[in-house]
Chains A and B, each alone.
Chain A
Amino acid sequence: MSTDAAPAAPAAGADEPPAVQLRGITKRFPGVVANHDIDLSVRRGTIHAIVGENGAGKSTLMKTLYGMHRPDSGEILIDGDRIVFHSPQQAISAGIGMVHQHFMLADNFTVLENIVLGAEKLHGIGAAAARRIRELSRQYGLGVDPEALVEDLGVGDRQRVEILKVLYRGARVLILDEPTAVLVPQEVDELFENLRQLTREGLTVIFISHKLHEVLAVADAITVIRRGTTVAAVDPGEVTPRQLAALMVGSELPSPEARESTVTDVPVLAVAGLSVRTAGGRSLVEDVSFTIHRGEVVGIAGVEGNGQAELIEAIMGMRPSTGRVTLDGVDVSERGTRKRREAGLGYIPADRHRQGLLLDAPLWENRMLGHQTEAPNARGWLLNNRGARRDTERIVAEYDVRTPGADVPAAALSGGNQQKLIVGREMSHTPKVLLAAHPTRGVDIGAQAAIWEHIKRARREGMGVLLISADLDELIGLSDTLKVIFRGRFVAEADPAAVTPEQLGLAMTGCG
């Protein structure tokens, strides 16, 4: 095996058939063509990235390859042989494995139990299976302990368990569906190292993503999908992120930059001496004070888990805290979350599935959430369903939420469209201050640009924004003031006009 991971150099001979080849794949669902004329060729022993915006048809394509549904036309070739899959089981036995975006693990089971489940016939469920798992873990450098309980594992370890699950079943081709969506930067680097190790051992990785810098960092070859079809196959060594992004969206790109200042000297949110502790007394946020003025975006940079999430939840009144929160001259420290929202706090939560949306409820009910006491959702004591529905249609149109209608459940929308709905909902009540936690996380480039545009417009109109983001470019580009949080305290301030992401990253680790 070649240990040289040079992206352009093919590891195998040129006459060897591709590990996976798709020819002219077309898949229709009622009313839409999800994929048409997909052509894809993946060399063995490479990491092949498939990039495209959310909703471009990446997942549909991978489901086709994994046998979860059959294409209407076109053919799949594995190692040069034409194969028709009727079920994932057949794909598995052909050596194709899928690592799902959302982990499919039972928390209260050991790693061993999670891995052998459904494949008990291979090595039983006892010592032999544990031996095999250790062997695989060593071979691919995954460092997974079969006896560990999954609930004790971090996100990165869980993902390695998912990968092992697939390897244990003998997969030679691994499909990873947006594997970095749930990882923090260090874990992403570890994952990439794991993936390179897999390809060194001769496996083939298909990597689905819309994060361009990650794709460029790890992939040996890139295929771009736009509106359901493959539009380009590019070499990561010969393309810039902006070119790649332009291929994905089919046009030139906006940037988060918002240089013309709109900051006023009218304070709109003042936080004084705010502290948050766990039930056990451990300090999460320690004596934090700051002021946001009208028309100002205050960005908070920090490695995840340093108290920024707790800070925002405390300001929203969702988490018990000490200290004072003053909104537009009114002390809201003693008010509950609903009163704070009515007083003019808008909120874009970091995890829209846990907070922010009821996935099983229709869009118009989701439109009411958090504003169920205000027009157009309510008339006095009663809900105004018709008003909410009408207003949802307005949001769908104004914020470009791609949906068949206001009656579909929120779960049916892609992540980007769910986020646009949340942004539209929060903006519709003209908040005085918007608390935005990772507003563009897991969102495709088109939606990202739209969300940035909405935040910038609201800022021009005098709204104050508290922004948390792991995307440092976004943070630097949008913010008027930058603060760095480390272990629950503000440790540094930075001028977004001058600071570089590298300097900011250093400060976030506490060395700045």
Chain B
Amino acid sequence: MSTVLASAPAAPVAPPPRDRRFSLPILLLVIAGGLVALAAVRAITGANDLTSHGAVRAALQSAVPIGLAGLGGLWAERAGVVNIGLEGQMIFGTWFGAWAGFHWGPWAGVLAAVAGGALGGLLHALATVTFGVDHIISGVAITILAGGATRYLSQLAFQGLPGGGVTQSPPVPELPRLSVPGASVLDRVERAHWFLASDLAGILRGALTDVSTLTIVAALLVPLTFWVLWRTAFGLRLRSVGENPHAAESLGVNVYRYKYYGVVISGALAGLGGAFLSMVASSIYRESQTGGRGYIGLAAMIFGNWRPGGLASGALLFGYTDALQLRGGSQSVHALLLFLAFVLAAVGLWQVLRGRRTVGAVAIGAAVLVGLWYATTDAIPAEFVQAAPHITTLVVLALASQRLRMPAADGQRYRRGG
């Protein structure tokens, strides 16, 4: 019998593996294309702030805390723990950063913020890993706890100090800022408003001059995270715990311990993001300074498909829209409509070329509508400008989440031997 069965035609062949990631050349091409489109939009609309060094600097400023929160989320979720307490750990970071920074100088502040965030992470790990509490419940509880605890601590530590109070700290000394020597020549090129050249100059100038040391640290943490998680045995174990903890356990990996590592590092990174808010983005701790950036960081991480590179681009995207909004950029956001129309048209063409007519047609139709909106108006309502970062978050997530892949055991309770 089995010989007859064995001669059966091979079972339908599995479809060839999908292309999982953009290859590097395509990625560079997309970036270059986006840059040219942005430069064209600036040249057409005259909204010079789109690529000015100020906008880029502000974008970085906004992106860093989001990116650090996102990195924090990445570490926790790669170990299989959803850390929605990032917001709370960030709050700890803002407070401890300002408190220690005020007393012992900025670098002590950074360390204290990291420790404060890590403490929040430890609490989350204790609840979710050791006691098996639902990850969302624990995370929300930590966020609420952080708000209350910092207010209480402010009463003890800040009240009565010059400039301090229940809701804010006294001014905190700044971290050093660095510039690449010679980058100031870019200034002249930028002001000439040449197509592409001035745009590049503006972007480079924003990224290379007057950069906070903490921004540099944050930027370095992205490749470092990739290296640790994907190129070391430690990272392999940590990720295995998020993909299939039972398999990891069967191979002698201490699942609980690696989950603890992931969540505590997660909290530490969120704390660092908090330090950036209270010590770099402003020079003072204020209550609710985080303003939901922990959650936006999670969104950036999801947008980045649980990978450091994607997460960083997500953070930059959110940071950029936030920067334009902060700079009162009704004109800039209006110009962005044209950019959006370009992007939608390009996506639509690409889809049509790949044979997916309906999706392509919808995208091109949307491009025409957005283009019409741009052509028939002169400005965007101020309310809409303020909401732009949040709307971008929503739209991007709605579009991107179709083909994302989270760690397989993410958010699940794990019991040893269970």
A residues whose Cβ falls under 8 Å from a Cβ of B: 88-89, 100, 104-109, 113-114, 116-121, 124-126, 149, 152, 154, 165, 184-186, 188-189, 213, 217, 303-305, 472, 501-502, 505-506, 508-510
CB-based contact B408/A108 at 8 Å: yes
Residue of A at shortest CB range from B417?
A: A68
Q: B233 near A: Cβ within 8 Å?
A: yes
Q: B248 near A: Cβ within 8 Å?
A: yes
CB-based contact B244/A506 at 8 Å: no
CB-based contact B247/A185 at 8 Å: no
CA distance A113 to B240 in the complex (A): 9
CB-based contact A502/B244 at 8 Å: no
User: Beyond the given A88-B250, A104-B244, could you list 8 further A-B residue pairs with CB under 8 A, ordered by the A residue number?
Assistant: A104-B247, A106-B244, A106-B248, A107-B408, A118-B237, A149-B17, A185-B2, A186-B8
Q: B5 near A: Cβ within 8 Å?
A: yes
Complex A-B: 15 CB contacts under 8 Å: A88-B250, A100-B250, A105-B244, A105-B247, A106-B248, A107-B244, A116-B233, A117-B253, A125-B233, A149-B17, A303-B11, A472-B1, A505-B8, A509-B5, A509-B8
CA distance A107 to B408 in the complex (A): 8
Residue of B at shortest CB range from A487?
A: B12
CB-based contact B247/A106 at 8 Å: yes
Residue of B at shortest CB range from A148?
A: B17
Q: How far is the CB of A389 from chain B (nearest CB, A)?
A: 25
CA distance A349 to B405 in the complex (A): 29
B12 in complex: contacting residue of A118, A149, A152, A305, CB < 8 Å:
A305
Chain B window 229-256, contacts with chain A (Cβ cutoff 8 Å), 1 for yes, 0 for no: 0011100110110011011101111000
Q: B4 near A: Cβ within 8 Å?
A: yes
Residue of A at shortest CB range from B7?
A: A509
Chain B residue numbers with a CB within 8 Å of A213 are 2
Tell me which of B7, B9, B10, B251 has the highest count of chain A C-beta atoms within 10 A of its own C-beta: B251
Chain A residue numbers with a CB within 8 Å of B408 are 106-108
Q: B14 near A: Cβ within 8 Å?
A: yes
CB-based contact B247/A117 at 8 Å: yes
Q: How far is the CB of A173 from chain B (nearest CB, A)?
A: 17
CA distance A157 to B10 in the complex (A): 14
CB-based contact B248/A509 at 8 Å: no
Q: How far is the CB of A129 from chain B (nearest CB, A)?
A: 10
B240 in complex: contacting residue of A106, A149, A502, A508, CB < 8 Å:
A106
- Given A106-B247, A108-B408, A508-B5 contact (CB < 8 Å): yes
Q: How far is the CB of B302 from chain A (nearest CB, A)?
A: 16
Interface size bracket, B side: 20 to 34
- Given A116-B236, A117-B236, A509-B8, A502-B247 contact (CB < 8 Å): no
- Given A119-B251, A120-B233, A506-B4, A154-B14 contact (CB < 8 Å): yes
Chain B residue numbers with a CB within 8 Å of A106 are 240, 243-244, 247-248, 408
CA distance A506 to B8 in the complex (A): 8
CB-based contact B240/A109 at 8 Å: yes
CB-based contact B8/A152 at 8 Å: no
CA distance A8 to B356 in the complex (A): 62
Within 8 A of A (CB), among B144-158: none
CA distance A154 to B11 in the complex (A): 10
B residues whose Cβ falls under 8 Å from a Cβ of A: 1-2, 4-12, 14, 17, 231-233, 236-237, 239-240, 243-244, 246-248, 250-253, 405, 407-408
Tell me which of A114, A154, A510 has the highest count of chain B C-beta atoms within 10 A of its own C-beta: A114
B4 in complex: contacting residue of A100, A107, A188, A505, CB < 8 Å:
A505
CA distance A88 to B251 in the complex (A): 9
Number of A-B contacts (CB under 8 A): 101
Tell me which of A105, A120, A126, A505 has the highest count of chain B C-beta atoms within 10 A of its own C-beta: A505
CB-based contact A186/B236 at 8 Å: no
Residue of A at shortest CB range from B233?
A: A120
CA distance A501 to B252 in the complex (A): 45
CB-based contact B248/A118 at 8 Å: yes
CB-based contact B7/A118 at 8 Å: no
Chain B residue numbers with a CB within 8 Å of A304 are 11
CA distance A506 to B3 in the complex (A): 10
The 8 closest A-B pairs by CB, nearest first: A118-B251, A505-B4, A120-B233, A106-B243, A104-B247, A509-B8, A185-B5, A106-B244
CA distance A126 to B2 in the complex (A): 40
CA distance A478 to B183 in the complex (A): 85
Q: How far is the CB of B10 from chain A (nearest CB, A)?
A: 8
Chain B residue numbers with a CB within 8 Å of A108 are 243, 405, 407-408
Residue of A at shortest CB range from B245?
A: A106
CB-based contact B11/A104 at 8 Å: no
Residue of A at shortest CB range from B8?
A: A509
CA distance A152 to B18 in the complex (A): 10
Q: How far is the CB of B398 from chain A (nearest CB, A)?
A: 20
Chain A residue numbers with a CB within 8 Å of B407 are 108
CA distance A109 to B407 in the complex (A): 10
- Given A107-B408, A186-B8, A505-B243 contact (CB < 8 Å): no
Chain B residue numbers with a CB within 8 Å of A88 are 250, 252
Residue of A at shortest CB range from B16?
A: A152
- Given A117-B236, A118-B248, A502-B1 contact (CB < 8 Å): yes
Residue of B at shortest CB range from A471?
A: B1
Chain A residue numbers with a CB within 8 Å of B253 are 117-118
- Given A152-B17, A505-B5, A508-B8, A109-B251 contact (CB < 8 Å): no
CB-based contact B9/A114 at 8 Å: no
- Given A152-B17, A189-B2, A303-B11, A117-B405 contact (CB < 8 Å): no
Chain A residue numbers with a CB within 8 Å of B250 are 88, 100, 104
Q: How far is the CB of B138 from chain A (nearest CB, A)?
A: 22
Q: How far is the CB of A151 from chain B (nearest CB, A)?
A: 9
Q: How far is the CB of A508 from chain B (nearest CB, A)?
A: 7
CA distance A187 to B329 in the complex (A): 64
Q: How far is the CB of B93 from chain A (nearest CB, A)?
A: 31
B251 in complex: contacting residue of A117, A188, A217, A501, CB < 8 Å:
A117
CA distance A4 to B5 in the complex (A): 26
CA distance A109 to B238 in the complex (A): 12
CB-based contact A184/B248 at 8 Å: no
CA distance A152 to B9 in the complex (A): 20
CA distance A304 to B12 in the complex (A): 11
Chain A residue numbers with a CB within 8 Å of B240 are 106, 109, 113, 117
- Given A305-B12, A509-B9, A125-B236 contact (CB < 8 Å): yes
CA distance A184 to B11 in the complex (A): 10
Residue of A at shortest CB range from B248?
A: A117
Chain A residue numbers with a CB within 8 Å of B405 are 108
CB-based contact A505/B1 at 8 Å: yes
Q: How far is the CB of A152 from chain B (nearest CB, A)?
A: 5
CA distance A99 to B178 in the complex (A): 57
CB-based contact A107/B248 at 8 Å: no
CA distance A163 to B252 in the complex (A): 17
CA distance A149 to B21 in the complex (A): 14
CA distance A189 to B4 in the complex (A): 12
Tell me which of A113, A117, A118, A506 has the highest count of chain B C-beta atoms within 10 A of its own C-beta: A117
Chain A residue numbers with a CB within 8 Å of B231 are 125-126
CB-based contact A104/B236 at 8 Å: no
B236 in complex: contacting residue of A107, A113, A165, A472, CB < 8 Å:
A113
CA distance A125 to B8 in the complex (A): 39
CA distance A305 to B252 in the complex (A): 36
CB-based contact A152/B251 at 8 Å: no
CB-based contact A117/B237 at 8 Å: yes
Chain B residue numbers with a CB within 8 Å of A109 are 239-240, 243
CA distance A185 to B9 in the complex (A): 12
Chain B residue numbers with a CB within 8 Å of A125 are 231-233, 236
Chain A residue numbers with a CB within 8 Å of B252 are 88-89, 118
CB-based contact A501/B9 at 8 Å: no
Residue of A at shortest CB range from B249?
A: A104
A114 in complex: contacting residue of B2, B11, B247, CB < 8 Å:
B247
Chain A residue numbers with a CB within 8 Å of B239 are 109
CB-based contact B6/A186 at 8 Å: yes
Q: How far is the CB of A192 from chain B (nearest CB, A)?
A: 10
CA distance A120 to B231 in the complex (A): 12
CB-based contact A501/B243 at 8 Å: no
Q: How far is the CB of A166 from chain B (nearest CB, A)?
A: 10
